Chains A and B, each alone.
Chain A
């Protein structure tokens, strides 16, 4: 039995160590642009950041809630187009178009989720796949709104608090901020009553329901939150590349993001991050293989699955998290 003083001290120590690690990681991330990397490398780093947001958000619905979605690119597209159109037509700045894009993606996910999230497994996968094709085809044919295959060029660069974001370094800090916001939001959602309900649905939906979890409601919530962040990533992409067309949001994109989640480890936040870094870089690192590189890319995934089917970091609990759990224990034994 611990005394209250010991307990408080222990807690302080853990909080201190936690914040030290966070500060260290953040410092490391902040100095990356000072390494005078070339333009190409910086672009890759920035795209990896965009994929991190996509992979972390897909991880929420597929990795944590256990609902296979093959249409994440649809919400990425909705975010990108919403942002581009609002920016072009009304001249709105990034600080308004980004939340608007995220909310639009979330709204569409909500409307799609209500009738379809009753479905499970392969059926849900087919529905999300079909939906993402619909989004792409609408973008391809609704000339008046999206300019179809010509795409939308010349999207304004973001302006944040008076700063005009133009250089790769500036974009880097912007995507870093967005990745941190996404990570923190999802981390907090996952480590709460909400997140426990999501995971319980993945683990055993009948048992979850019997414990009072309204399965449909929580699946829709998870799906909507995931789409929100995919929309945010889309908005960044539009304002970064400054040109979008339906080709950027194909089924391949959904599969790419799903591979990142599976490779990194379903239901692991750091896993999604590592997965997106590896799979953004792999095609470039393997460039020396020339025509064989896409074969290698596939081979990595194939070899990975029998060796570590749970993904690189799947099923691993970090020491920090364990300490936090022990904290619960200390509270309980007072």
Chain B
């Protein structure tokens, strides 16, 4: 079943078309990678999917519903959660609190229940803390619960950001360069982790520059350059595609 369908999406900033007429689709349970040189429009594409930018043209249909132009705080309720290229945690909140904010869209305690510390308040807080701990254990951060997020090592911060997104129980997870700045061992571990998510049925859209990771993990790959889709297909097709080689290495390579 088609989970995500993007039709003729364009994002223009003045005269510059950062993303130009891109169509795209994802099936449930797939891992798809979006690659391309710097400035190709990958992050802009993510920002449109998550409502941060409103596309100039085109439509985004998610889970059978047109979500074009929906505000970011509502997108996550529809089931799309993301991480950021330059890590955006809440630095002065604890690791646990970061994940609890990730559950914001799935929890309900408001002013009344918080002020009067009702039974419902404690039930939800306990349930969320339990779930958050479970999630943190999957990325070896269980013992860091009370640590400020800013005190984590770089790789741990990356993992925390993924877990924070997963806390929203998304149907589609967008990862923006999760392996950036990681060493080969960390990247290897990340790959295993992403595979594990897929085995549990997650659908993942990945922006990544680490080609080894991309080639090993992706079901399909889309290649962007200057805002235009220049190729799509399976890993081995992409590797030998003349346009892709040119985009990365220049003509005559």
A: residues with CB less than 8 A from B are 185, 188-189, 192-197, 199-200, 203-204, 206-215, 221, 225, 267, 315, 322, 325-326, 328-329, 331-334
Contact = CB atoms under 8 A, between A and B. Distances in A.
Given A203-B90, A326-B146, A332-B133, A211 B111 contact: no
Interface in B71-118: 71-77, 81-82, 84, 88-94, 96-97, 100-102, 104-105, 107-111, 113-115, 117
29 contacts: A189-B114, A189-B115, A193-B108, A193-B109, A194-B111, A199-B97, A200-B93, A203-B89, A203-B90, A203-B92, A203-B93, A204-B90, A204-B91, A206-B88, A209-B72, A210-B73, A210-B76, A210-B82, A210-B84, A211-B81, A211-B164, A211-B168, A212-B77, A329-B133, A331-B126, A332-B129, A332-B133, A332-B134, A332-B142
- Cβ-closest 8 pairs across A and B: A332-B133, A212-B105, A192-B114, A203-B90, A207-B88, A328-B129, A212-B76, A193-B109
B40 interface: no
B125 to A, nearest CB: 8
B111 A203 contact: no
Contacts of B129: 328, 331-332
| Interface hub of A199, A203, A325 (most chain B Cβ within 10 A) | A203
B85 to A, nearest CB: 12
A290 B124 CA distance: 57
Interface of B: 50, 52, 71-77, 81-82, 84, 88-94, 96-97, 100-102, 104-105, 107-111, 113-115, 117, 121, 124-126, 129-130, 132-134, 142, 145-146, 164, 168
Contact of A193 (B74, B76, B107): B107
Contacts of B108: 193
A315 B45 CA distance: 37
A325 B100 CA distance: 13
A328 B92 contact: no
A211 B97 contact: no
A215 B104 CA distance: 12
Contacts of B105: 211-212
Contacts of A326: 146
A213 B101 CA distance: 8
A63 to B, nearest CB: 11
A203 B114 contact: no
Chief secondary structure at chain A's binding surface = helix
A322 B72 CA distance: 33
A188 B73 contact: no
Contact of A211 (B52, B104, B110, B130): B104
A107 to B, nearest CB: 15
A196 B84 CA distance: 20
Contacts of A209: 71-73
Given A189-B114, A197-B101, A211-B76, A328 B96 contact: yes
Given A203-B90, A214-B73, A325-B96, A192 B146 contact: no
Given A325-B96, A332-B129, A211 B115 contact: no
A199 B93 contact: yes
A333 B130 CA distance: 7
Given A206-B88, A331-B126, A332-B130, 11 more contacts: A192-B125, A193-B100, A199-B97, A208-B101, A210-B72, A211-B102, A211-B164, A212-B76, A328-B129, A328-B133, A333-B142
A206 B133 CA distance: 24
Contacts of B124: 193
Contacts of A331: 126, 129-130, 133
A99 B68 CA distance: 44
A332 B109 contact: no
Contacts of A221: 111
B50 A325 contact: no
Contacts of A333: 133, 142
A194 B130 contact: no
Contact of A192 (B72, B92, B109): B109
Contact of B92 (A213, A215, A225, A315): A315
Contact of A213 (B50, B81, B104, B109): B104
B109 A194 contact: yes
A199 to B, nearest CB: 6
Contact of A196 (B50, B74, B93, B134): B93
